[in-house]
Structure formats: structure tokens, C-alpha cells
A and B are shown apart, each in its own frame.
With several copies, the nearest count.
Chain A
Amino acid sequence: MARVVVDVMLKPEILDPQGQAVANALPRLGVNDVASVRIGRRVEIEFAGEADLDRAKEIADKLLANPVIEDYAVRVEA
């Protein structure tokens, strides 16, 4: 078994209401030194055999990310 991680984040210029809501809540927890929060998805793909980065990229392209609003990064996890 080998794990590939795909991090999917909204493109920087796209509004992230989730991150914004969390950032706005922080002062109530007494946290004042955070400039911004962005929230995306972390997808762990467990391959039966070898980790297959190209395959993972293909899956990300087709299923995991919407290229119109999201970017993704793929990496093998140690």
C-alpha cells in the first residue's frame, strides 16, 4: 500500500466563505495574530500497489478538483 495526497485549494482570488468564517471567529477564542484562513480539501488516495502519481493527477483532474475555481497539488506521502 502506498499513499498519495492530493491537496485541493480554492484559487487564491476565489472567495473562501469557510475560511473567512473561521478567521472571523478567532478573535472570540482570543486569537488576534492570524491574518487569514483558507480551507480546502485533503484527499488521501491509498493505492493497492505502488504509489502512482500520474494516476492520482488524473483522478484529481477528473474528480477531485474543479479547475475553474480550484488548484491542486499531488505528492507521495512518506
Chain B
Amino acid sequence: MTAVDIDVDTVERALATADEEQPFAELGLQPDEYERIQQILGRRPTQSELAMYSIMWSEHCSYKSSKIHLRQFGEKKPPSERMLAGIGENAGVVAITDKLAVTFKVESHNHPSFVEPYQGAATGVGGIVRDILAMGARPVAVMDALRFGAADHPDTARVLPGVVAGVGGYGNCLGLPNVGGEIVFDPCYQGNPLVNALCVGVLPVDGLQRKEADGPGNIVVLMGAKTGRDGIGGVSVLASATFDSESEQQRPAVQVGDPFMEKLLIESCLELYASKLIVGVQDLGGAGLTCALTETSASAGTGMSVQLEKVHLREASMQPHEILASESQERMLLIVEPAKLDAVLGIATLWGVSATAIGVVTDTGRLVIDWHGQTVVDVPPGSLVDDGPVYARPLKEPNDLPLLIADRAETLPRPANPEELRETLLRMIASPNLCDKSWVTEQYDRYVLGNTILAQPEDAGVIRIDEETHLGVALSCDGNARFARLDPYEGAKLALAESYRNVAVTGAVPIAVSNCMNFGSPEDPGVMWQFAEAVRGLADGCLELGIPVTGGNVSFYNQTGAVPIHPTPVIAVLGIHEDVRHRVPMGFSQEGDLLYVLGT
């Protein structure tokens, strides 16, 4: 293979050309961050290394602006014996019985869904499903929380049908029932719609999978779709240094999903888990191989030696930094004992999924990546995962808040007589945010798998997870950005309370919380204040209710120009239903039943 003419930036070359200028700023790295990288490596990074640091130290992967706030979820966490895995894992896992556990998580795919609504939403579902799969669980249901601009805006007519078709297209084809969600219209989302997807999975308590790349000598296997130039977005600036602008155009940021491949990937992984054939597993998400390789080795404290040319490519001309940055969908990374490699590859073949050994675990504490025999990456993996920058960004209550709060609802005209009351009621129930949502929900399969006990139009979804014992779980996700705009602390608490109530009224006991925090730019002190308040509100609310936050996702930079969206914390609550035969649907069940109002 050495015959290949290699024109890539190797470690050797980096040492020889110490002063070469690198486009770190275009990759979103600050000068001091770039300096840190050089300190860590004792030299300038190679192109591939620079790409990897820029990805792993990005807001999306490093949580650099949110980290110091999210700590509260751990600090204020009420004691819970059920929690088997929490924040920091792909998804939180809670034990339901001695034998069964569930895992669930919400994640955003906002920006891609604005660019290409169908594929953006579809790959959003695909991504969260792989998170759940990586914990060792069989994904069993999905939900989606959506936000669009004004219902009658032309761009909503472009985005909404595509997003809904994408959520449905991917979830239906995977065979996952959609058991609920939200659709809210507000002009603040006009240029920045939100697509949050939730997935829940079930696993045996002793089937929990780990991501650690333990055991030097173990094999690193990449399984699933071929790697292409999907979503390498920012990293393409590395190419522009060496390629002409013509080839630059060939670097799409849009990923295309293949739910069929994902279905095969799910079945193969579950078979691998059941046969106890693997040591570790990690899904490939936003940061592709870069994230999977560094996280698995860093969390085990091991190293890795990877031959990047072994990765199956969709386009032969791909460069190492592109392969490392690629966001191609439907891929998983496995850590396998050498003696079990054949069995693993056999199961992949049975399901028609390709799987390739691309490297081995080492005890060097370094992630070393070769490209046709030359070393292009040699880094301590922990430096990418754990040593990223952390910011305590300035916070400041938005200037307009007192005015907004002063503009109270009491000043609005009220219906003065029964006629006007009737009129108001009719207008309300016909409004986009309150009207019947079946145009959307009918595009989702709610029956597949045969365990859906409650789904739309109920306030919470309920699914059976054990046919013998009738055990089930209830799920709801809620958010009210208008409340949160007025008071992010109370707004987050209210969303939590609503979700909690929705779960409780089905007859379930709420036990765990996940969340997706959708906000504007963290560099805007007003937004940062909203975020800090919302996190504090959620953490306090959880403490009061006595349930832990088990995971979540932060999506910043949701804004158009300088105008951020309303702060939109979407809070999901999961509850245990001891016997789904006793579920309580929301409809009146028969004439003559008495109505009571509980609470204040």
C-alpha cells in the first residue's frame, strides 16, 4: 500500500515545518486554544490533529460554555439507587426492576433541519437512536418536540412538511413507534426551527454496555455504513489550503440517512450484546470517528493504534482529516477481543452489514493514527475529551425583561359576555398551537412493536416493556418558551412540572428526567443568563420532586442574526408503570362519571 502517493500532513512533517501557518481561527479555535494544543503536543498539530481538536473542543462536543452550569444536575441530584449510568454517558440508564433497565435521551438536530428539513430531521432521529443502542438497549419508541416559525409563513411551508416526513420516514422505517411530542409555532423560530428527538430503549440490567476501550491487544472494529464526505462542514477549510475552490464545493455539510442500514445495525449490535462478544461499543455521532476513537480510549485510559486506510470509504479520494471528521451516519465502533473477532464479523455478515478491523487497543496512552504507513495523528486522547476549554461566560439579565414582565396579561381585553367568551374559545382551539395535530401524528407509526398502550393524542406516551408482567414506562416531553422568556428559572421548572404531571396522570411514577436546552448564542450575556437560570430551575425542580436528571443535550447558537430564539428548555420525564392494564387515558370514559378539579 505504500505505493500510494501520499501528500498529507504527517507528524514528521509537522516537526519539520514547525512554523507553518494553520487555519485554526477558521476552524473555530481561539488563539489561546491553539497555543494549548501546541503545548500538549510539544509541536504544531498536523492537519488531522487540528481537525480533531477543533471538533472536540467545539461548543457542541466540549460543552465549554455550559459545563460549569450543568454540574448542578450532579450536585443537586437526589439520591437514586436506580441510576446505572448518568450524565457523561451516551444516555442515562435507570433500573426498573432487578432485571430490566431503561435508557432515554433527547437530542437536537436544529440547524441541519433548517438546511435540509427531511434529511436533517431523519438523521436527528437516527443519531439519538444510536445513542440508546450504544448503551446496550433495544430502542423501543421515539418522540419528537418541534418548533416552527409562524404557521402561515412561506418558509414554514417548506420546513414543516419536510421535518415531519423526515421524523416519520426514519422512525417508521426503523420500526419504532412514535408515542408523542410537541409542535409549537412562534415567529421567534422563523429562521431557526427546532427539531428535538427523543428515544427510549430497554435493556437487561446486566446487559449494560460500556464505551471503554479496555484491554491492550483488543481489536477496534468499525461497523456499518461506508464513510463519505458527510457533514464535514468546517473542516473543509483544511482542504481549501491544499485544494482548489472547485473541489471545495464538493464538501457537503448535509448528511443523508439510511434507516434500513440503521435497522440492520441495531439487529447486529443486539445480537453481539446478547452473545457477549464485545468489550466496548460507541456510536458515531456528530464528531464521527474522532469522537469515538478518543472517547473510547480516553475513558479506559488506554491508547490505540489505528490504520485509517482500512476504513471503508465511499469516495476513494478522501483525506485523513476528512475521514476523521466525517459525520456519515449509521456507524458504530466496537472493541473486540481478538479471539472473538471472527464471530463478530460473522454476525455482521449475517445481517449484511460491513465491519472492518481498523486498529488495536494499546497501553501507550496515545492515540496513534497511521495513513498508509505514515503517522498523521499522535495525541493523548484525554486531551481532546477532557482537557478542552471551559468558560465561565458573562451573564446578564436581558435589558428588555422588566418591560416584558410589566406588560401583563391583565391589561388585555377580556371577553365581556358569553358570546365573546364563545368566540374567544373557538379562536383559541382553532389556533395553530392548540388545534388538532393529527395531520402530523398520522404520518407516524404508533402501532409497530405492538406495545403501545397510550400515544397521540394523549399527554404522555405509555409503552409496555414486559408482556408477562405488564410492566411499562410512561414518557412525556414539554417546554414552554414563552414562560421561559419571561422567567427562565420558573419556565424550566414549569416545563418539568408539566412533563411530570403528564406522566403521573397516566398512573405512572416519574423516576428520571432528560432534557434538551435550546438557546441562542452563549457569547450573548443575555442568552447565557437565560441558560444559567433555566439550568438552575431544572436542577432545583428535580431536587424538589426527588428525581434525577440522567442526561440531556445543549444546543446553542439558535438565532437569526443577533436575535436569539426564546429560551427553549424541552424537558422529558420518564415514569414506571407497574401495570399498563391500569393506564388512565385522558378522555372521559363514560356518561355519569364525576369530574373533580385537583390542586389550586
Contact = CB atoms under 8 A, between A and B. Distances in A.
Asked whether any CB of A lies within 8 Å of a CB of B in the complex, the reply is yes
Interface of A: 10-17, 20-21, 24, 66, 68-69
B252 A11 contact: yes
Contacts of A21: 260
B101 to A, nearest CB: 32
Contact of A68 (B115, B229, B230, B261): B115
B225 to A, nearest CB: 7
B258 interface: yes
B352 A15 contact: no
B452 interface: no
Identify whether the interface residues of B are mostly helix, strand, loop, or mixed: loop
Contact of A69 (B229, B252, B328): B252
B116 A69 contact: yes
Nearest to A11: B252
From A12, A13, A69, name the one whose CB has the most chain B CB atoms within 10 angstroms. Answer: A13
Contact of B119 (A11, A13, A24, A69): A69
Residue picked from B225, B254, B329, most chain A C-beta under 10 Å: B254
A11 B254 CA distance: 11
Contacts of A17: 256-258, 260-261
A66 B225 contact: no
Given A17-B258, A69-B116, 7 more contacts: A12-B250, A13-B251, A13-B315, A14-B228, A14-B254, A15-B329, A20-B258
B322 to A, nearest CB: 11
Contacts of A69: 116, 119, 252, 254, 256
Contact of B116 (A13, A16, A66): A66
Nearest to A10: B256
A21 to B, nearest CB: 7
The 9 closest A-B pairs by CB, nearest first: A17-B258, A15-B256, A13-B229, A68-B116, A68-B254, A69-B254, A13-B250, A14-B256, A15-B228
11 contacts: A10-B256, A12-B315, A15-B225, A15-B228, A15-B230, A15-B256, A17-B258, A17-B260, A17-B261, A68-B115, A68-B116
A62 B66 CA distance: 40
A63 to B, nearest CB: 11
B581 interface: no
Given A68-B254, A69-B254, A15 B115 contact: no
Nearest to A15: B256
Contacts of A13: 228-229, 250-252, 314-315
Interface string B235-266: 00000000000000011101111101100000
Interface in B322-342: 328-329
Contacts of B225: 15
A15 B116 contact: no
Nearest to A20: B258
B103 to A, nearest CB: 27
A15 B250 contact: no
A20 B230 CA distance: 16
Interface centre among A16, A20, A24 (most CB of B within 10 A): A20
Contacts of B251: 13
B354 to A, nearest CB: 11
Interface string B123-157: 00000000000000000000000000000000000
Contacts of B115: 68
Given A66-B116, A68-B116, A14 B252 contact: yes
A18 to B, nearest CB: 9
A41 B314 CA distance: 22
Contacts of B229: 13
Contacts of A15: 225, 228, 230, 255-256, 258, 314, 328-329
Contacts of A16: 256
A17 B314 CA distance: 12
